[in-house]
Amino acid sequence: MNKRSPLFLAIFSLLILISCSADKTNWTHFRGSNMDGHAEVEIAPLSWGETENVVWKVPTKGLGWSSPVIFDSQIWMTSASKEGAEFYTLCYDLETGNLLDEKTIFTAEDPQRIHGTNSYATPTPCIEDGFVYVHYGSFGTACINTENFEVVWKREDMPCKHMQGPASSLILHKNLLIVHLEGTEDPYVAALDKKTGETIWKSVRPAEIYDPLEPVFRKSFQTPLVIEVDGREMLISNSSFLCFAHDVNTGEVIWTIEYGYDSTVSQPLFYDGLVYVNSGWIFLDNTPFFSRQFAVDPTGKGDVTKTHVKWMYEDEVPQIPTPVIVDGKMYMVHDRGMVTCLDPKTAEVIWKEKLKGNFNASPIYAAGNIYFFNVKGECTIVKPADTFQKVAVNDIGETIKAIPVFVEDKMILRSDKFLYLIK
């Protein structure tokens, strides 16, 4: 039997502790570091108000619906002027709320129009040790060094006619930065070299399928997800009309499913061997219909619409908020407030409950509870269970469209005017 020295064991234990601590102190992407809507925390706030349990509250420049990202003691987020002439990056100190850096990183003389409910800074950045990556759709993408706040690279040459404004968030995968620019003309996804910003691959949606569609039905606002299936890394991209599974390293399309148009927003999920994708708005016999949720076996090739779709569910499926799966149950909140708890294997409804208000923010699971924020800033905290179990209701009294972020025992919350640290 091999014996380890006390020094080796101490170093090994320290490395494990540092690794676990990093998971709890960082929030690197939209919907968390694992992009599954789970916060790696053991304690989370249960009670707050406009002043109650608020450690600090700072005003934010401009307007943006992007969510904050956190690495070590830095909070980064994006914002923009309401009319889209200027695009900002903001960095705050986690403990004090002090503004550490602010930049006007891009400008636009004649910005595209956006939907009245959108902002010019809706895509969420992503962050890693030493670098943060920000994105404003066709208005620009950039990398910033988080130690000296210098801009490492910029891209302003990736066109997209968003029609209703940008919303797809960035994701990092190894050396790649994945960018979706899916507008009304030639929608595409690209992988950039995260160190230089150079394009490694670009996949334009197939012209024979998308060109016959009305331009309004080609656009997409979704954020993709990387999964691994049978040793192959796939980028799951639920675009308008089709969901694509790409080889994330080459851009090659592995499989597709067809669900119809129009815009997709909600992010895919991956759980227990199945991919869950949202269709966005669809039309049946030229009649607008709301979203559908699909469960897909990701092991196929080619068009797998008829062979690998395990179920489809269409009763009050959200268009904007992304569901969260906790302990073998899927929880989703419709844009108009109906919460549905589903069995993700069968789509069997376990329970439904109507919450007050309209919802844009995706639910987040933290410290044993699920947090549902409506647009007016009221949060209903629910215990995941076989029945609806309300834990608490809190109201910040401001517009909330960004998701709440949890690190350690704290919640970072962005409203339309302020950034909060709540404990």
DSSP string, 172-190: EETTEEEEEE--SSS-EEE
Q: How far apart are CA 348 and CA 359, in angstroms?
A: 23
In order along its 423 residues, the chain shows pLDDT tens digits of 444 444 444 444 444 444 444 456 899 999 999 999 999 999 999 999 988 999 999 999 999 999 999 999 999 999 999 999 999 999 999 999 999 999 999 999 999 999 989 999 999 999 999 999 999 999 999 999 999 999 999 999 999 999 999 999 999 999 999 999 999 999 999 999 999 999 999 999 999 999 999 998 899 999 999 999 999 999 999 999 999 999 999 999 999 999 987 789 999 999 999 999 999 887 666 666 689 999 999 999 999 999 999 999 999 999 999 999 999 999 999 999 999 999 999 999 999 999 999 999 999 999 999 999 999 999 999 999 999 999 999 999 999 999 999 999 999 999 999 999 999
Residue with tokens 């994006």: 78
Parallel/antiparallel/unpaired status of strands 241-247 and 291-296: unpaired
Q: Rounded to the nearest 10 degrees, how much is the dihedral formed by the CA atoms of 110, 204, 88, 123?
A: 120
Tally Cβ neighbours within 10 Å of residue 80: 28
Q: Give the pLDDT of residue 283.
A: 67
What DSSP letter does each residue of 331-367 carry, written as one string? EEE-TTSEEEEE-TTT--EEEEEEPSS---SPPEEET
Parallel/antiparallel/unpaired status of strands 253-260 and 302-303: parallel
Largest CA distance in the chain: 72
Pick the CATH number of 26-422 from 2.130.10.10, 2.40.110.10, 2.160.10.10, 3.40.50.300: 2.130.10.10
Tally Cβ neighbours within 10 Å of residue 334: 22
Tally Cβ neighbours within 10 Å of residue 94: 21
DSSP E strand boundaries for 121-160: 126-128, 131-135, 141-145, 151-155
Centroid of chain to Cα 84: 22
Output helix, strand, coil percentages for the chain, rounded to the nearest 5.
5, 45, 50
Neighbour-count burial for 377-407, b at 16+ CB within 10 Å, e otherwise: bbbbbbebeeeeeeeeebebeebbbbbbbbb
Which residues, in sequence order, are CB contacts of 212 under 8 Å at separation 6+?
Answer: none
Q: How far apart are CA 214 and CA 122, in angstroms?
A: 25
Tokens of 304: 């797998």
Q: How far apart are CA 9 and CA 3, in angstroms?
A: 10
Q: How far apart are CA 159 and CA 133, in angstroms?
A: 18
Q: How far apart are CA 13 and CA 20, in angstroms?
A: 11
Task: Point out which residues pair with 2 in neighbouring strands.
Answer: none
Whether 101 contacts 114, CB under 8 Å: no
